[in-house]
Structure 1
Amino acid sequence: MKTDTVITKPLLEIDKSIDALVKQIELLSFVNPTNIEEEKARFFSSKYLTQPVFKYPDINFDRFKLHRKLFKQQIELIEDERIKNLYEDIIYTYSGLIKCIETIGSGKKFYYNSLHCFGTPTEIDVENAKYILHFEDEDLDSQAFAPKYNAKEAESFFRAYSEQYDFTYHIKHSDKISAIAMVSNNAKTLVLNTNHVYSDNEIAVLTNHEIGVHMVTTMNGLLHPLKIFSHGFPNNEETQEGLAVFAEYMSNNLTVTRLKELAYRVIAVNSLSKGYSFSKTFRLLHNQYDLEKEAAYYITVRAHRGGGFTKDYLYLTGLKKVYDYYHANKNLSLLLTGKVSLEYADDIESLIEKGLAVPAKHITDAYAENSNTNKTVDFILKNLK
């Protein structure tokens, strides 16, 4: 369906203006410490008592000017009330992300801005995490979980997996990220952590998670008349991470051990709301929950980076929402149209009908068929509150 250019001209101009403003505010580009490994050595040598002093990339834009230009958008010119409300939500969301970036490393200020953007675990979320942690790890093939491949060797697996998709992207290596791999949306780049040695299981998980969902939604997001599909709807992080872990489930790579990792993240983020320091969160995971010290350190870094980054609890809540959405026979491809949110599924359908968006071109390979055979994982996901 062709769009009515008289109706959509103000909308497209506002969308284009916002696009130019927000290209530079990818939060993960700024919130990952640049000295994770150096601080790990210092933290371990102190017997887990010192607080790491993290350094962050320089911010390369004028934050105040960006706020001012965002709120100068004349969204009252958008005649469609539903779309106008969506853009109002989007402007407030992007403003919140700018506040997060400008307060990285400031402690409580960043934490409160993170709370505003991402929220914090509810009591039910914490109960769900503790429920998962009661399960025993599976007796899995140790060979599949043995570290084998450096980042350069791992790269070949990602390239081979990606041949099934009709898009190209960049791969780079870094020792400055807290994840073992991540997709940089704006740069259309997969970043692999050079400090990590990858197992066969991690390769299987990450290809489905990072390429099968994060890169798929990056590429789909670029195909729309509206650029918000590329930069992100409000609360898109929960849906995106839920979709990505759900791809692990559908491809039969989601294990109880992996679910426990997501549960530990909820526990770590919840510790922020209790005012725990870095070392206290680490000791909670390592001593009380008996998590191996390397894993406990990196999960603690993820939660405490910036001054208290609450996003990590959303992996588990997002997974549960996408799992239930799928089992209600709803349309997963709607959620692959870009960096979108489950809560806006009806808006996405409406935008497609109006010719302002297009159906997803690239579809997550794992979603073609449910290959999960892990009955314990299914039991857990069904019974999460």
Structure 2
Amino acid sequence: MNSTTQLLQPALDIDVRLAEIERRVDLLLNLTPVNAASAWADFERSDFSAVPTLRLRPLEFEPDLVRRDLYNLEIEKVEDPALHTLLRTKRDEIARQITALEDRDTSRFVQGSLQLYGGVSPALVSAAEELLAIIPAQSPTAPSVTAGAFAEAARAEMLRYRAVYPEFPVHIDIRDDVSELMVSFGHLLIPEAATFRADRVAPLLQHEVGTHVVTYQNGARQPLKLLTIGLPGYDETQEGLAVLAEYLTGGLDPRRLRVLAARVVAVGRMLDGAGFLDIFEALQAQYRIPRKTAWIIAIRVVVAGGSVKDAIYLRGVSRLLEAFAEGISLDALLVGKLALDHVPLIQDLLDRGVLRAPWVRPRWLDAPGARERFDRLRAGTSVMDLYEGETAR
């Protein structure tokens, strides 16, 4: 530990406690339906006419006790102005997470979701609708692979990292209580009933392992432990970076772009008062989204009372494209899980020796064609430029 780190030790002690508390809250897992597979089967049996009932797991913490732990942290004694602001903002974000979880399945939940993830601007909705209009709808043609086969591919990908970084851990769980592929605190969680398009396996590995797991592991080797669970508002930048990892490896295909756009449209409709069936039917009839995909998008948007999180993927990509054109450092974004707004702080901590350079370099940076694609991003592009095929018009 150098002298600068010793000087900041009170802040780093609070940082550790905040990371521990957010792990207890576990927002991502606690907003994931535990019955998605059976809910889809019921929906099929109803001839796609009955609103599904999505069940969420009981909270395994007492909200008031966790709040007490949060506000017992003496953040006011942190003297470094930047870290003081960062820790206070993170404490407030965790408090909002707790309230949002208490408000699950009530009309109040959507307001908590908006506080955590932000809304959808008219410009973002317009870009999403433009993508849906210009990209021809395509039926899936590639064969599918099972959750087990995907897990084997993910294990092989993690072992490739371990070959270069011997301490790189391999944590993969196939679970029957998650409804979507996710990374939770460095663990890749795969829904037991899921199938994956064979041509989407490689891009998804770059998204989940090459970005989410890698940035978690990079953050785990920093003195600032919040870089593992995420600095305040990190989700947008993290998901945007993960989508760009798909693009840089040539895996951001037209169907994937249409899904990202459809998520924004679905969030917008939900905020305008549309219910599950209205969203589900509009995605199919108006935007030509396949039925099962429309189901997945719709349940992600209405879960717990209305979630706006899915808008962050396209918004995150858009903001990153602007940032790369302005010359932002990619290395700073790989130090851990952070938002674009934190890059100046991260760079300052790197310069002062508090933080160290990223431990793991993502494999997607060295994929064939990745450097050329990244150079194009640096030259200035928009989300429309990420689609390279023929237009539907």
TM-score clears 0.5: yes
Which stretch has the larger CA shift, 12-21 or 112-121?
Answer: 12-21
Deviation, structure 1 residue 136: 3.1
In 1, are the aligned partners of 2:235 and 2:312 still within 8 Å (CA)? yes
**Secondary structure, in 3 states, of the residue corresponding to 2:54?**
coil
Equivalent positions of 1:260-299 (< 5 A) are 260-299=258-297
Q: Which amino acid aligns with 2:215?
A: T
In structure 1, the gaps of 5 or more residues are none
Aligned to 1:160: 156
Map Cα deviations across residues 324-376 of structure 1 (whole Å, 9 max, x no partner): 32333321121111111111100111122233322211122222433559x9x
Distance in 2, Cα, partners of 1:269 & 1:294: 18
**Secondary structure, in 3 states, of the residue corresponding to 2:57?**
coil
Deviation, structure 1 residue 284: 1.3
Deviation, structure 1 residue 380: 4.5
Deviation, structure 1 residue 139: 8.2
Map Cα deviations across residues 65-98 of structure 1 (whole Å, 9 max, x no partner): 1112212221121111121111111111111111
Deviation, structure 1 residue 194: 2.5
**Secondary structure, in 3 states, of the residue corresponding to 1:253?**
coil
In 2, are the aligned partners of 1:320 and 1:381 still within 8 Å (CA)? no
Which stretch has the larger CA shift, 238-247 or 289-298?
Answer: 289-298
**Secondary structure, in 3 states, of the residue corresponding to 2:190?**
strand
Q: Which amino acid aligns with 2:279?
A: T
Which stretch has the larger CA shift, 324-333 or 273-282?
Answer: 324-333
Aligned to 1:23: 23
Work out which of the residue numbers 202, 212, 216 in structure 1 matches 2:200: 202
**Secondary structure, in 3 states, of the residue corresponding to 2:242?**
helix
In 2, are the aligned partners of 1:35 and 1:176 still within 8 Å (CA)? yes
Aligned to 2:177: 176
Q: Which amino acid aligns with 1:160?
A: A
Aligned to 1:337: 335
Q: Which amino acid aligns with 1:146?
A: A
In 2, are the aligned partners of 1:138 and 1:255 still within 8 Å (CA)? no
Equivalent positions of 1:311-322 (< 5 A) are 311-322=309-320
Map Cα deviations across residues 222-252 of structure 1 (whole Å, 9 max, x no partner): 0111211112111111001001000001111
Aligned to 2:147: 151
Distance in 1, Cα, partners of 2:304 & 2:59: 13
Aligned to 2:251: 253
Aligned to 2:116: 117
Q: Which amino acid aligns with 2:183?
A: V
Aligned to 1:351: 349
Deviation, structure 1 residue 138: 8.5
Distance in 2, Cα, partners of 1:175 & 1:81: 45
Distance 1:353 1:184, change over 3 A: same
Distance in 2, Cα, partners of 1:381 & 1:334: 26
In 1, are the aligned partners of 2:151 and 2:174 still within 8 Å (CA)? no
Q: TM-score, normalised by structure 2?
A: 0.89
Q: TM-score, normalised by structure 1?
A: 0.91
Distance in 1, Cα, partners of 2:75 & 2:84: 6
Deviation, structure 1 residue 379: 6.8
Q: Which amino acid aligns with 1:193?
A: P
Distance in 2, Cα, partners of 1:176 & 1:370: 39
**Secondary structure, in 3 states, of the residue corresponding to 1:108?**
coil
Distance in 1, Cα, partners of 2:204 & 2:31: 21
Distance in 2, Cα, partners of 1:139 & 1:287: 14
Q: Which amino acid aligns with 1:293?
A: R
Aligned to 2:4: 4
Count of residue pairs brought into register by the alignment = 374
**Secondary structure, in 3 states, of the residue corresponding to 1:134?**
helix
In structure 2, the gaps of 5 or more residues are 388-393
Aligned to 2:125: 126
1:93 correspondence with 2:89: no
**Secondary structure, in 3 states, of the residue corresponding to 1:240?**
helix
In 2, are the aligned partners of 1:110 and 1:307 still within 8 Å (CA)? yes
Distance 1:138 1:254, change over 3 A: farther
Deviation, structure 1 residue 381: 3.6
Distance in 2, Cα, partners of 1:5 & 1:178: 41
CA RMSD of aligned residues (A): 2.3
Q: Which amino acid aligns with 2:67?
A: H
In 2, are the aligned partners of 1:30 and 1:57 still within 8 Å (CA)? yes
Percent pairwise identity: 28
**Secondary structure, in 3 states, of the residue corresponding to 1:149?**
strand
In 1, are the aligned partners of 2:117 and 2:309 still within 8 Å (CA)? yes
Distance 1:55 1:76, change over 3 A: same
